[in-house]
Chain A
């Protein structure tokens, strides 16, 4: 006996109360197959999930309860949760598609860095004349450079400690 739910289009959801199962028809242009797979996988522990293709561009998801028959409030709750999960998975799939180029680029850089030390030939061919990056704060300064500067400044004027003492007495 097919039944429809308020708030859910009747041509999308069909509930067969006598079998304790319900079918949800999904438009593949809105929800790609990978999103349907992901949502189905989330429900596989509490429902029996069966997928079918009733027509081109449509996927039918049939859910049957494992412990209790899907009817009444439980059926409505389950179909609502599945629809939400489907939307979430479709959005995640979209984000993954959009950021695929960035992920591939970062992975490629990480892998090229993990190749190990360069060979002598590669080092010979490397152009060391070019500055690696700007260092306006002097963070990349070596310890020797810093130490040499301080030594020079400390050794230069001999009168400086006296000046400092005079200032303190005032």
Chain B
């Protein structure tokens, strides 16, 4: 399992949610909210796949955040 910690000051919560929604078919996800971070735990078939999905999900969440005008815009 891989844990991604998205800082709330850098990633929009809506963007992280949308990214998780997009990758739901490829792995199983567990969400947790902390005061400073949005935590996403990824479980996939194997370690390589988990790593690849984690990378792609992080890129996707960052792209959506930037397109939305930043973490503080929403």
Contacts and interface: CB of A to CB of B under 8 A. Distances in A.
Nearest to A33: B70
Interface in A34-52: 34, 37-38, 40-41, 44, 48-52
Nearest to A66: B55
B62 A44 contact: yes
Given A51-B7, A51-B11, A52-B5, A40 B55 contact: no
B62 A53 contact: no
Nearest to A34: B70
A48 B10 contact: no
Contact of A50 (B9, B58, B70): B58
Q: Give the bracket for the number of chain A residues in contact with chain B.
A: 10 to 19
Interface string B56-70: 101100110110001
A101 to B, nearest CB: 20
Contact of B7 (A37, A40, A52): A52
Contacts of A48: 55-56, 58-59
A41 B63 contact: yes
Given A33-B70, A34-B70, A44-B63, A49 B9 contact: no
Contact of A51 (B55, B56, B62): B62
Given A52-B5, A52-B7, A40 B70 contact: no
Contacts of B55: 48, 64, 66
Contacts of A40: 62, 66
Interface string B30-74: 000000000000000000000000011011001101100010000
B7 A53 contact: yes
B10 A33 contact: yes
* Best-buried of A34, A50, A53, A59 by chain B (most CB within 10 Å): A50
Given A33-B10, A59-B10, A49 B70 contact: no
5 contacts: A41-B62, A41-B63, A48-B58, A50-B4, A51-B62
Interface of A: 33-34, 37-38, 40-41, 44, 48-53, 59, 64, 66
